[in-house]
Structure 1
């Protein structure tokens, strides 16, 4: 009898010696039920997959195609994705790795995407996410940000006059850090400006980083893009708008410039090189920000904020 029991215990079928507790993990809870868009085989999952594939298949050009649109951007990593969703960065699709560890950041990302609405949730195997992100450390979360819809330079002027106000615009010359662009957008919004103008090439664009730094103000403050910044400024001058360039050796102090009371474009250069030669020659005035503390320069976001404050004070 004992020999027969031993044969049963050593066979492939039935219980095995020492198996107690091995299936305990299988009985543990697996967290909340995932949304319908992430459940394989569900109708909403198939619809989300199809829509995401169509979005990925659209042709685009990062440096600006015939319509001046940038390509979509991927935000990768658990912390960057959660921060982007918290700051309201526009998003098309949230990709979640299959069998991902369901930690606090993953749950928050799913919650934020679900609460916002309009963001497709897709489950993808790790190799697919590796391919999409060119091997970056995505940690199982990838957020697809749609191309930014840039305004036309003339739109900024038209919007101001539609509101019965003189245009107050900031143009950036050679500013390549998206965080500086986002900070300028935030300052323009804070001081009642009507938009930001950037060159199409060799300049920061409205990436997820710029959106985050703008603290949501990019949703209501337009950013226009010009093929040639000098020509765009010349067109503004023909429309009766004064072009004011910031320069460390400017002939006027910013607090003494009465031109800030009327229609004006404030041109801010990079912290290191300042204004380019052609843009500097196009300016009606070159103004400086007095800095008694001895600093040689300010970054674009801070410099724009100082001049915008002075313009808003004079207009008030």
Structure 2
């Protein structure tokens, strides 16, 4: 899920990252390390709600090939995150209806990067991802965005369901893109809109799907189950673009 360039290791480095503007996504601690500095790191990670895994030495050595971890290592974002308010402010600044993508546990950094690139090309205001069980802005994701990350705000949220509720309160319609929905070609994709794209294998979780206003699907005629997540995002994005252009 992550790549080497997003790793920081050593007690001071991890603690400094936790106390800085760097986004720490996940921490690994050696099972037998429970001294003062480690307790400080654990306390700060808990305060910030950062996932912490207790691992054995072989796993930590695998994460840190140079083995200078001092019993702790962390994955950090390769690019800064924005907030949901930043995304909504962008649409307000443009004077257009909000157009957002919500990603439910996307795990492949190349898919994340490709979706960010699609979001930019389709004029979307931003992308929302969950804090846990999903890839973040690793260097692979940033690279796959082909520069689009500089123009598309990405917000990481603790609870997707709660975020969906908050967006609905602001008048934004939430559509889940899944196999059992109404065709996107028979669905209005204009107005304030957020499209939910699910995990590469499991699709959209039941809880998130139940929070959505409706379910839409992409008509397909092949012999396999579904499209790649980033391809699905592209198809839906540009159908929304087509409809919005027609409405003008």
TM-score by length of structure 1 reads 0.57
Q: Report the more deviating stretch, 147-156 or 298-307.
A: 147-156
Q: Structure 1 residue 246: deviation in Å?
A: 0.7
Question: 2:158 & 2:138 partners in 1: Cα distance?
Answer: 18
Greater radius of gyration (CA): 1
* 2:36 matched residue in structure 1: none
Query: Do residues 263 (structure 1) and 192 (structure 2) align?
Result: yes
Q: Structure 1 residue 214: deviation in Å?
A: 0.5
* 2:152 matched residue in structure 1: 221
* 1:286 matched residue in structure 2: 215
CA contact (8 A) 1:68 1:150 kept: no
Task: Please give the per-residue CA displacement for 1:38-94, whole angstroms capped at 9, x wherever unaligned.
Answer: xxxxxxxxxxxxxxxx97762333239566899xxxxxxxxxxxxxxxxxxxxxxxx
RMSD: 2.6
User: Can you give the 5+ residue segments of structure 2 that lack an aligned partner in the other structure?
Assistant: 1-11, 19-23, 28-44, 52-60, 68-74
Give 2:114's match in structure 1, choosing from 168, 183, 193: 183
Question: 1:215 & 1:67 partners in 2: Cα distance?
Answer: 30
Query: Do residues 307 (structure 1) and 236 (structure 2) align?
Result: yes
* 2:173 matched residue in structure 1: 242
User: Can you give the 5+ residue segments of structure 1 that lack an aligned partner in the other structure?
Assistant: 1-53, 71-129, 137-143
* 2:58 matched residue in structure 1: none
- Indicate how the Cα distance of structure 1 residues 165 and 68 shifts in structure 2: closer, same or farther if over 3 A, else same: farther
- 1 or 2 for the larger relative contact order (CA 8 Å, sep ≥6)? 2
SS of 1:249 mapped into structure 2:
strand
Give 2:127's match in structure 1, choosing from 184, 196, 212: 196
Query: Do residues 155 (structure 1) and 86 (structure 2) align?
Result: yes
The number of aligned residues is 195
Q: Structure 1 residue 174: deviation in Å?
A: 1.7
- Indicate how the Cα distance of structure 1 residues 55 and 308 shifts in structure 2: closer, same or farther if over 3 A, else same: same
Question: 1:174 & 1:218 partners in 2: Cα distance?
Answer: 19
Q: Structure 1 residue 133: deviation in Å?
A: 4.2
CA contact (8 A) 2:98 2:125 kept: yes
Q: Structure 1 residue 147: deviation in Å?
A: 4.8
4+ long deviations beyond 4 Å: 54-57, 64-70, 130-133, 144-147
Question: 1:280 & 1:217 partners in 2: Cα distance?
Answer: 28
Task: Please give the per-residue CA displacement for 1:262-290, whole angstroms capped at 9, x wherever unaligned.
Answer: 11000000132111011000111101100
- Indicate how the Cα distance of structure 1 residues 203 and 63 shifts in structure 2: closer, same or farther if over 3 A, else same: same
